[in-house]
Amino acid sequence: MPQFPPLPSWDAMHPLLIHFPIVLLLIVPLFAVIAAFLQPPRNRPYLTVALLLLLLGTASLFLAASSGEQAAELADRPGGVNAVLTAHESLASVSKIFFSALSVLFMGLYLWPWIWRRPQSRKAFILPTVAFIAIYSV
For the stretch 13-51, pLDDT in tens is: 888 899 999 999 999 999 999 998 888 778 889 999 999
Q: Using only C-alpha atoms, what is the Rg of the chain?
A: 19
Share of the chain above pLDDT 90, in %: 47
3: left (phi over 0), alpha (psi -120 to 50) or beta: beta
For the stretch 46-74, pLDDT in tens is 999 999 999 999 999 999 999 998 888 88
Separation of alpha carbons 93 and 108, rounded Å: 23
Q: Mean pLDDT in the chain?
A: 88
Grade residue 114 by pLDDT with cuts at 50, 70 and 90.
Answer: confident
Give the pLDDT of residue 120. Answer: 65
Cβ-in-10-Å burial (0-12, 13-18, 19+) of 2 comes to exposed
* Residue 4 CB neighbours (<10 A): 5
